[in-house]
Chains A and B, each alone.
Chain A
């Protein structure tokens, strides 16, 4: 039985952080037969300010749907990192993008600092798939779910013409994450 995974995705409105969190949770539920819940902050903060999306994945039933102490925190802006780094569960995993976040605080967590944005821009040139690269890195390092399950969700939600680009972004992220895993 897997340990309950509590994730907080944080970043800025428009980075696709909420979309990424929904894709992850949907893939876990529909293609890996797990339970998952996704919820997000609504309001003015979702339009350019710092956004937050909570995801819980587990084999057993999930009742309280919010994440108080994430064991995985993803921060894609300095602001969101500063805001949320302190809530991470001791020994948890912190995933940040090296272009956007300078890690300052010392929190008890495994720090994963990857050039996801720069890699996407260099290899693909389209920032729109940045979030999928982040998702790839996340599952590469955490093995939460299989990349195939993410691809299956993407196939049902995006136009065929964009699949190659998304698959490439997912692979780039996955490789970066997996490498760190060693």
Chain B
């Protein structure tokens, strides 16, 4: 039996806060914006209790800069935003990719473009998470459909940020962020937490901040501490100093992409429901996955061989996993609340893209099980 103190009935945004604190977050800078505001609100009270720092900055750009700086000095950091705030963070996010600075960015998605539909749900930022900042780069983006999973992926986001020295984006959405449900907070140690890998190079000995170890990881030195080094958004050598030497430029860019893309299967998190004999497979993520599972459970009860693949890692896109899981399906329906962002990835991944359909809703309301059922009936040739 769980201790009641560990059982919470809270919003998804608070589940994200609890996961971040569990993972060791000790610095948050942000600028509140609906529907992510509760993340900042709760961290403003929770972080100081834990000896951490909370700063409300003048805007989203400054917030992103603050978390990058704090991470370099040895802290586990996060910022949270929504809609236009996520757009504002893109330039500094690219800097964090280039300078390989661990950080977590929670984006609780609302309707866009622009100020859009602030209080309503959307999943329209999937591609922005991938390509919002300019230039070739790789990124990790994760999502979840219930509060226990929000907690888990938040811990994983911090772990992956440290392991791969990269920004990790949490793509929550308004429904998950605002709705309340149960969260059981795991005991310390129940979920592994990856700590900052610090260099063993002694003070006064040359430290090469961008010289990878044999396993590819880059040990860090707390900036302003024992070693002097340079950090830049320009292509740089192993000391961190700017370079446009073609060899260095090429090697660094390939490293930035490969360190993540070569580990797709290690990074990938997903859940599956009734896939073993499924003729019809629903692929979904975030709040829309709840509708997909609800609908599949009801159809199963009526004898339809239908299953759900719920993606928790969206980037790097787990194409091999999607192809394998969908190999025997008559039809694949991607359920998402945008004009078709993940469906494009699924079509690229599977052997038969003509059998991939989009069930979407873009009016600010959560897609319902009956919305999905309507499309399934059309695919089955049963009419609406």
Contacts and interface: CB of A to CB of B under 8 A. Distances in A.
Which of the listed residues A22, A62, A65, A68 has the most CB atoms from chain B within 10 Å of its own CB?
A65
Interface stretch (A36-44, A97-105, A120-128, A169-177): A36-44
A38 B180 contact: yes
B182 A29 contact: yes
Nearest to A153: B9
Interface string A14-25: 000000001001
A113 interface: no
B307 to A, nearest CB: 14
B178 A36 contact: no
B82 to A, nearest CB: 12
Contact of B291 (A37, A38, A40, A64): A64
Nearest to A55: B180
Of the four ranges (under 10, 10 to 19, 20 to 34, 35 or more), the interface on chain A belongs to 10 to 19
A53 B111 CA distance: 21
Given A29-B182, A63-B290, A66-B366, A39 B7 contact: no
Interface in B169-197: 174-175, 178-182
Contacts of B297: 63
Contacts of B119: 42-43
DSSP class of A's interface residues: helix, strand, loop or mixed? mixed
Given A37-B180, A64-B295, A66-B368, 6 more contacts: A29-B182, A36-B9, A43-B120, A64-B294, A64-B368, A65-B181
Contacts of B9: 22, 25-26, 29-30, 36
A65 B290 contact: yes
A153 to B, nearest CB: 9
Interface in B276-308: 287, 290-291, 293-295, 297
A68 B368 contact: yes
Given A30-B4, A30-B7, A65 B182 contact: no
A53 to B, nearest CB: 10
Interface in A31-51: 35-40, 42-43
B175 A65 contact: yes
B144 to A, nearest CB: 13
A93 B180 CA distance: 24
Given A29-B9, A30-B7, A42 B178 contact: yes
Contacts of A36: 9, 181-182
Of the four ranges (under 10, 10 to 19, 20 to 34, 35 or more), the interface on chain B belongs to 20 to 34
B94 interface: no
B208 to A, nearest CB: 50
Contact of B175 (A26, A39, A43, A62): A39
Interface of A: 22, 25-26, 29-30, 35-40, 42-43, 62-66, 68
17 contacts: A25-B180, A29-B7, A29-B182, A36-B182, A37-B179, A38-B181, A39-B179, A42-B34, A42-B35, A42-B178, A43-B119, A63-B294, A64-B368, A64-B369, A65-B181, A65-B290, A66-B368
Contacts of A65: 175, 179, 181, 287, 290, 366
Nearest to A27: B9
Contacts of A38: 179-181
Contacts of B34: 42
Nearest to A38: B180
A43 B369 CA distance: 24
A62 B7 CA distance: 17
B291 A63 contact: yes
B143 to A, nearest CB: 16
Nearest to B180: A38
Nearest to A26: B9
Contacts of B179: 37-39, 65
Interface string B358-384: 000000001011000000000000000
Contacts of B293: 63
Which of the listed residues B9, B35, B174, B178 has the most CB atoms from chain A within 10 Å of its own CB?
B9
A30 to B, nearest CB: 6
B185 to A, nearest CB: 13
Contacts of B182: 29, 35-36
A68 to B, nearest CB: 7
B345 to A, nearest CB: 24
A13 to B, nearest CB: 14
B373 to A, nearest CB: 12
A39 B180 contact: yes
Nearest to A44: B119
B180 A64 contact: no
A92 to B, nearest CB: 19
A25 B147 CA distance: 15
A75 to B, nearest CB: 22
Contacts of B4: 30
A129 to B, nearest CB: 21
